[in-house]
Amino acid sequence: MLNSNNVRRLALEVGFDDCGVARTNALTDDEYPLRSWLSKGWHAGLSYMERNVDKRMDPRLLVPGAKSVICCVSAYPPPSSRGGVAAYARTREYHKVVKDMLFRLRERLGIDGKLCCDTVPISDKHWAARAGLGFIGRHTLLVTPRFGTWVNLGEIVTTEEIEIVAIEETKNENSKTASLLPGQDNPSSPDPHAAFCLKCHRCIDACPNHAIAPDDPPMLDVARCTSYYTTHHPQPLPVGLDAGGYTQGCDLCQLACPFNHRQTPKN
Ligand code: SF4
Ligand code: SF4
């Protein structure tokens, strides 16, 4: 039987920067408060989020008989300056790059599985968190210990059963990657990074539009996030919103996040 270390080793070989495996039991409302977010109307004009809610929570409805979600991380360069075009908007071609790597990984593994990269109703970041690759910060993005939030994600949902084992890092990795973060098989150990986040407020304070919920669980009011107007649904900004010097997207909440400054933050 494949194990998560074999899968991760091959994922690194095809070009990913990290990889983990999650079991397919449905995400709980605590892990992914999708229904609560929708009920607040905070998805604004992203009406597609109202569809396939059950599939977004349970990949077994996407791929009948699915047993594992292989979650892959591809890091991109942090922005070198503030303003203008946001870092992720500069990586528009990433769909193709990530999909190519997923395709090669599936081939190398010799398994069947559905490749997911943005166009499939599955929440990449919540599955990556389930797989132990990071946690969901208050700004609602996946925070990885090595690359912060500057990552693209992709998955293979497969009927293959994969044993989840402790991560063994390769010689070339000079990080504490997943070893600092509890995976699914270790749910009781506290995540020191997520615990830090609960006491931090920096992204909330950095958002000029008060788009980030100040309380748990992490949630974002899309109608107040300028990125929505400049990338997802291009249209003029409503009066009263401040783009913070960005013409496309916005990095302000990510730039405020201490996990994007490479060193483990201190309270
Ligand atoms: S991307 Fe910008 S506008 Fe949107 S929540 Fe973050 S700081 Fe606020
Ligand atoms: S800035 Fe602070 S509160 Fe926001 S996600 Fe990062 S650690 Fe969490």
Q: What is the DSSP string of 88-134?
A: GGGGTTHHHHHHHHHHHHHHHHT---EEESSSSSS-HHHHHHHTTS-
CA distance linking residue 159 with residue 67, whole number of Å: 5
Burial class of residue 119 (count of CB atoms within 10 Å of its CB; 0-12, 13-18, 19+): exposed
Q: Is 72 in the pocket of ligand 2 (CB under 6 A)?
A: no
Q: What is the pLDDT of residue 179?
A: 37
Confidence band of 92 (pLDDT split at 50, 70, 90): low
- The two beta strands, 135-136 and 84-85, are unpaired
User: pTM of the prediction?
Assistant: 0.91
Q: Give how far Cα 48 sits from Cα of 38, 52, 88, 135, 230, Å.
A: 11, 8, 21, 25, 18
Which of the residues 54, 112, 118, 216 is marked catalytic?
118
Q: Is 241 in the pocket of ligand 1 (CB under 6 A)?
A: no
Q: What are the pLDDT digits (tens) for 159-187?
A: 999 999 988 877 666 444 443 343 434 43
Closest Cα to atom 6, ligand 1: which residue?
A: 253
Q: What are the pLDDT digits (tens) for 18-77?
A: 999 999 999 999 999 999 999 999 999 999 999 999 999 999 999 999 999 999 999 999
Q: Is 32 in the pocket of ligand 2 (CB under 6 A)?
A: no
CA distance linking residue 122 with residue 112, whole number of Å: 18
Q: What is the pLDDT of residue 176?
A: 40
Q: Give how far Cα 56 sits from Cα of 105, 133, 201, Å.
A: 23, 19, 28
For the chain, percent of residues with pLDDT exceeding 70: 90
CA distance linking residue 181 with residue 199, whole number of Å: 18
Q: Which of 73-77, 120-124, 232-236 has the lowest mean pLDDT?
A: 232-236
Closest Cα to atom 3, ligand 1: which residue?
A: 225
Biggest distance spanned by C-alpha atoms of the chain: 57
Q: What is the pLDDT of residue 234?
A: 85
| Nearest ligand (C-alpha, residue 250) | 1
CA distance linking residue 16 with residue 5, whole number of Å: 14
